[in-house]
Structure 1
C-alpha cells in the first residue's frame, strides 16, 4: 500500500471522525455557489438593476469567502485536536513528523475536493428554489429562470480548491506533534480544576449590566454615539461571563450539597466543571457570531419595516394630487389624466378634494399653520373609516405633528400652548390633543368647529388636495397605475404611496436578501462550532458513561444527563446571543422611535426555532452513539 493509498483509506475508514469537517466544508461551498448562481444570472446583465445587484453580490461573496476561510481553518484545527492519540500511534509505528504533515495535507485536500464537488452538485439541486426565493424577496418583475451556471461552477471550484490548498499548506506548516507520550495520553491527562476570579466574575456582571442599561436608555441620535462603547463593553463582559462567571457559578453549585448531591447532578456538574475550561472560548465565539447574525438580519428587516409601514401609516391616501402654482385649466387636465389611467387599470375609487387654509399664528414655530374645520376633517375621516371629532364651540383640537413624532419628540406638541386669535380679538385656547393622519398635512394643525372657523381672519395661503382612494382593483394594477402617474407629473405634484412602497422594497430587496444569507451562514457556522465541541469529546464520553453505567446508572438517568449536558452546550451561548440581540434591536427601536417588537420577535424566534431543531437532531445522534457504547 502506497502512502497516498494510506491517506485515502484513513479518510474512508474513519467516516464519523471526518463527517463533521466534511459537512461544514460542504455547506460553505454550497452557500457560496448559491450566491454565484444568483450573481451570474443572465437577467442581471441587463437593465437598471444590474450594477446594484452585482455590487451587492460581490461584497456578499467576498464576506462569505473570507469567513469560510477562517471557519474551515477553525474546523480543521478542532479536527486535528481530536486526532492527537492517532498521531502518537502513527509515530510509534515509525512515521516521521514530515510524513504526518504530508498525510494531513493530502487528507485535507481530498476532503476539500469532494466537499467542493458535492457542494456544487447540491447547489445545482436547490438552485431553482433559491432563484424563486430571490425573485420574491428582491421584488423583481422578471422571472429568474433556471440556467446552466457554467461561470458559477468555475468560480466556485477554483476559489475553494485554492482555499483548501492554502489551508492545507498553512496547517501542515504549523502542525506540531509534541512529545510522543503526550500524544498517546492526550485523552487521559487531567485538565485540572478550572479556577475563577471573583473579581472578574463581578466585573462581568457590571459590564453586561452597564452595556444593557446604556443601550436601553439612550434615545434617538444617542444610540449611534453609544453604539461603539456598548459593543466593546458587552463583548468584554461576554468573554468574562463564559471564562469566569460561569465557572464561578458552577463551583458555587458544586459547593451546595442540596444541589450537588441531588440525583444525577453530581455527574453533570463534575463533568461540566472540567469541560467548561475548554468550552468557554467556543461559547464566547458562538455567542458573538450569533449576535452579529441576529442583529444584522433584525436591523435589515426592521429598517425595511420602518420605511414601508411608517410611510403607509403617515400617508394613508393611495393617490394624492397636490397642485402647487398650477393653473386651473392644468388642474382639470391633470385630473382627467388621473381618472383615465385609473379607469384603464379597472380601479374604482372614492374621490375627495380639500382646500387647506393656512393662517398666521404667532409663537407657533412655523408662522403659517393649517386650521381645519370640523366638517372637513370628519369628511376625510369617513373616507378612511377613522374616528370623527366633535369640537366644542370656541375650542380647538391639536393634531399631532407627525414629523416631530418620527424623531422622538413628545406627543404633547407646542400648539397646545398657542391660542388662536379670531377677527374680533377673542382667543381660542386648544384643550384637546389627538394623534391622527386623517388630513393630508405633515405638520401639527388645529381643528375648530365650523362657526369658529368662519370667525377666523383671511387665510394666508390655501392649498388644494385631490385624493383618490381605491375601493376596487388589484394590488398589481394599483402599483402599475401609480408608477405611470408619478412618471407623468413633476416631482412632488402627485404621490402614489403603494408604488413608493413597492420601489422601496425593490431597492431594499437585494440588501435584505444578501444580509439574510450572510446571517444564516454565520448562524449555521456557530452551530457547527458547537457540533465540533460535542463530538470531539465523544470517545471520552463513551468511556465515562460506560464506567458510570456499571455502577448502576439506569437508561433513563443516562438520557437525562446527556440531555442536560447537550442542552447546556447548545443553548448557553445561544440564549446569551438572543438576549444580546433583543437589546440591540430594542436600541434600534429607540433610534427610529418606532416599535419593532413584532419584527424582533419574528427574527429571534425564527433563529431560536432553528437552533431547537438542530439541537434535537444532534442530541438524537449523540445519544444513539453513547447508548450503543454503553449497552
Structure 2
C-alpha cells in the first residue's frame, strides 16, 4: 500500500508532464470506444450493412496508431525518470521495489485514462452516432445505449497495452547501470556536417518523385518521397542552418546564435522523427481532402450518375402509363420535365484508340435529342453536324489525348453494306442513361439517325425530372418494386442516398483517424521538445546569469520550436499537395474544387497543430525560463 501511495504522489508531482499524454490517450480511447459502440446501434446497422467490416478494419488501424504513440510517449517518460530512478537506487532502495513502484505508476495512469475515456466515450457516443447518421443522410433519431461488448473490447485492448508498458517500466531499473541512469540526459550530439551533395540529392529526389506522380507512376514515387524527405531533414536543413550561420549580422543579433546553434545540434537527432511526421501528414492530408471533397460533391456526383429524377427503359405501354401515374400522383414532387430519349445500339470497328476498338459497343443519339439532354447532363455545346459527322462522348478508359481520336472513321455493319461515321471530336464526358458500365455515345445528324433507325429499331428511355428529388423516397421505392432488371430503372434518390452513405462513412472514419493522428504526432513533437527542455535547463540558467532576460529566452524558444513544428508540416503539405495535383491532372478532375477542399484540410490540421505548438512553447518556457 505504501508503494501504491508513493506511485500516486509521484504522478501528482509530475502532473504537468502527464497532462498532454493523458489528454491524447483519452482522445484515443473515446474514438476507439465510439467505433466499437457504433457496431451495436440498430439505427446505424440498418443504414449501412457493411458497417461491421469497415469499423473493424478502422479499429485495427487505430490500435496501430495508439501502440506507436504509447511506445514513443513511454520512451520519453523513461528517459526523464532515469535520474530519479538512479537516485532511489543510490539511496539503497531495492531494484525490485523501484520496479514495482514504476509498475504501479503506469497502471494508475492507464486505469485513469481508460476510466476517463470510457466515461466520456459513453457520454459522447449518442452524439457521435447522431453525427454519423447525419453524414449518412439518415434520420438522426437514435436511442441511447451502452453496449457492454464495446466496453469489454476497449477495456481489453487498452489493459493489454497498459500491462505491456508497465512491464517495460518495471524493467527500467534492470536495463541500465547506475552511472547510465545519472548521465542519461548528458549525452551530446556531434556537430553535424553540411553536405552539399546530400542536400542536392534530397532536392533531386523530391522533384523526381513529383515528376513521377504527374506521369502516372505514384507507386514508384512513394519510396523516392520517403528517401528524399529523410535526406531533406538530415542534410538540407543542416545545410540551410550552416548557411544561416554565415550571415553574421543576423546570426549575432540578440541571442539568435543560441537558437540557430541549438537547432543545428538537434535537427539531425530529430531527422527520423520529423521525417515520419512529415510522411504521415503527406498521407493524411490527401485522404482528409478526398473525404471532404467527396462528401461536399455528393449532389454533383449523384447527378453525374443519375442525371434525371427517374429514368428507365420503356418496354410496355401499360407499364409506362402506370409509372406515369405514380410519378404524377406524387404532389409533393411535381414534374418539371418529361421526355423520351431514343437510342440506337450498334456494333462497330475503328482505328481510333478506344480500348475495344475492334468490337466497339456504340449508342447513337440524334442531334436534336442531344440538345434536349445536354443541360441536365452538363454536356456543353457541340458544333452543328451534317452528313456522316459524329461527336463521341466517353470519360473512362480514355488514356490518350482527345486529339488522337479526331478524323478516325467508325464502320458500322448494315444488313446491306456498311455505314461509315467520321469522328469530328471526342468529348471526355459521360452520358449516363443506365447504371453500371459506361457506353460510348455518338451524336449524329438527325437525318442520319432516322436512316439508321430503319435498320436498327431504337430503344426509348423515358426520363422524368421532379422538384425536391432528394426526398422522393416513397415514390422511388414504389417504382423499384414495380420495375424489373430489364427496365434498367435509375432514380436520383437511390444514387444520392447511396453515395451520401458511402462518403459520409468515409468522412467520419477519416476525420476520426486524422484526429488520432494529430493527437499522436502533436504529442510526439511535444514530448521530444520537452525532453530537450529538461536537458537544456542548465544552459539557459547560464544565459540568465550572463544577462539574457526572460523575454529574449522566450523569443528564442518560440523560434526554434516553430522550426521543429512548421518544417514537417510544410513538407507534408508540399508532398501531399503534389500528390493531389497529380491525381487531379491525371483524371481531369475539377482543380478549383479539389484545391479548395485541400486548403480546408490544411486549415483544420493547422489549427490543431497550432494548439500543440502553443502548449509546447508554454511548457518549454516554464521549464527553462523560471
Superposed pair shares fold, TM > 0.5? yes
Q: Is residue 460 of structure 1 aligned with residue 451 of structure 2?
A: no
CA 1:548–1:345 in structure 2 vs 1: closer, same or farther (change >3 Å)? farther
CA 1:410–1:187 in structure 2 vs 1: closer, same or farther (change >3 Å)? same
| 355, 379, 387: which one aligns with 2:372 | 379
| 108, 120, 123: which one aligns with 2:121 | 123
Normalised by the length of structure 1, the TM-score is: 0.84
| 440, 443, 452: which one aligns with 1:443 | 440
Q: Deviation digits for residues 290-328 of structure 1, max 9, x if unmatched?
A: 3333344445556777897455236422221223xx3xx
User: In 1, are the aligned partners of 2:107 and 2:166 still within 8 Å (CA)?
Assistant: yes
Inter-partner Cα distance in structure 2 for 1:149 and 1:245 = 52
Q: How does 1:581-620 map to 2 (within 5 A)?
A: 581-589=576-584, 592-595=587-590, 598-599=593-594, 601-603=596-598, 605-616=600-611, 618-619=613-614
How far off its partner does 1:390 sit? Answer: 5.9
CA 1:378–1:25 in structure 2 vs 1: closer, same or farther (change >3 Å)? closer
User: In 2, are the aligned partners of 1:397 and 1:446 still within 8 Å (CA)?
Assistant: yes
Partner of residue 577, structure 1: 572
Q: Which moved more, 1:258-267 or 1:229-238?
A: 258-267
Partner of residue 55, structure 1: 53
Q: How does 1:53-92 map to 2 (within 5 A)?
A: 53-92=51-90
1:464 is paired with a residue of what secondary structure?
strand
The unaligned stretches of length 5 or more in structure 1 are none
| 236, 239, 245: which one aligns with 1:254 | 245
CA 1:387–1:32 in structure 2 vs 1: closer, same or farther (change >3 Å)? closer
2:465 is paired with a residue of what secondary structure?
strand
Partner of residue 7, structure 1: 7
Partner of residue 529, structure 1: 524
| 471, 479, 486: which one aligns with 1:485 | 479
Q: Is residue 355 of structure 1 aligned with residue 342 of structure 2?
A: yes
Inter-partner Cα distance in structure 1 for 2:77 and 2:451 = 85
Residues matched between the structures, number: 612
CA 1:461–1:288 in structure 2 vs 1: closer, same or farther (change >3 Å)? same
Q: How does 1:111-150 map to 2 (within 5 A)?
A: 111-141=109-139, 143-150=141-148
Partner of residue 281, structure 2: 290
User: In 2, are the aligned partners of 1:401 and 1:445 still within 8 Å (CA)?
Assistant: no
Q: How does 1:208-287 map to 2 (within 5 A)?
A: 208-218=206-216, 223=217, 226-227=218-219, 229-287=220-278
Q: How does 1:162-561 map to 2 (within 5 A)?
A: 162-173=160-171, 178-195=176-193, 197-218=195-216, 223=217, 226-227=218-219, 229-299=220-290, 309-310=300-301, 312-313=303-304, 315-323=306-314, 326=315, 330-344=316-330, 346-349=332-335, 350-357=337-344, 363=350, 365=357, 372-381=365-374, 391=384, 396=389, 398-404=391-397, 407-412=398-403, 414=405, 416-418=407-409, 442-448=439-445, 458-470=454-466, 472-473=467-468, 475-477=470-472, 479-491=473-485, 493=487, 494-507=489-502, 509-553=504-548, 557-561=552-556
User: In 2, are the aligned partners of 1:480 and 1:499 still within 8 Å (CA)?
Assistant: no
User: In 2, are the aligned partners of 1:88 and 1:180 still within 8 Å (CA)?
Assistant: yes
1:194 is paired with a residue of what secondary structure?
coil
2:372 is paired with a residue of what secondary structure?
helix
Inter-partner Cα distance in structure 2 for 1:362 and 1:254 = 69
CA 1:614–1:359 in structure 2 vs 1: closer, same or farther (change >3 Å)? closer
Q: Is residue 158 of structure 1 aligned with residue 156 of structure 2?
A: yes
Q: Which moved more, 1:584-593 or 1:240-249?
A: 584-593
Q: How does 1:89-108 map to 2 (within 5 A)?
A: 89-108=87-106
Q: Deviation digits for residues 438-476 of structure 1, max 9, x if unmatched?
A: 79594231343x567667783433121211112x23521
User: In 1, are the aligned partners of 2:313 and 2:460 still within 8 Å (CA)?
Assistant: yes
CA 1:543–1:491 in structure 2 vs 1: closer, same or farther (change >3 Å)? farther
How far off its partner does 1:352 sit? Answer: 0.9
Normalised by the length of structure 2, the TM-score is: 0.85
> Over the residues paired in the alignment, what is the CA RMSD in angstroms?
3.8
Q: Which moved more, 1:611-620 or 1:264-273?
A: 611-620
Inter-partner Cα distance in structure 1 for 2:222 and 2:527 = 27
How far off its partner does 1:388 sit? Answer: 5.8
Inter-partner Cα distance in structure 1 for 2:346 and 2:39 = 56
User: In 2, are the aligned partners of 1:316 and 1:437 still within 8 Å (CA)?
Assistant: no
How far off its partner does 1:280 sit? Answer: 1.8
CA 1:516–1:488 in structure 2 vs 1: closer, same or farther (change >3 Å)? farther
How far off its partner does 1:196 sit? Answer: 5.2
CA 1:125–1:458 in structure 2 vs 1: closer, same or farther (change >3 Å)? same
User: In 1, are the aligned partners of 2:522 and 2:612 still within 8 Å (CA)?
Assistant: no
Inter-partner Cα distance in structure 1 for 2:586 and 2:294 = 11
1:534 is paired with a residue of what secondary structure?
helix
The unaligned stretches of length 5 or more in structure 2 are 352-356
Inter-partner Cα distance in structure 1 for 2:595 and 2:569 = 16
User: In 1, are the aligned partners of 2:523 and 2:612 still within 8 Å (CA)?
Assistant: no
Inter-partner Cα distance in structure 1 for 2:159 and 2:591 = 43
Inter-partner Cα distance in structure 2 for 1:105 and 1:368 = 71
How far off its partner does 1:109 sit? Answer: 0.6
Partner of residue 18, structure 1: 18
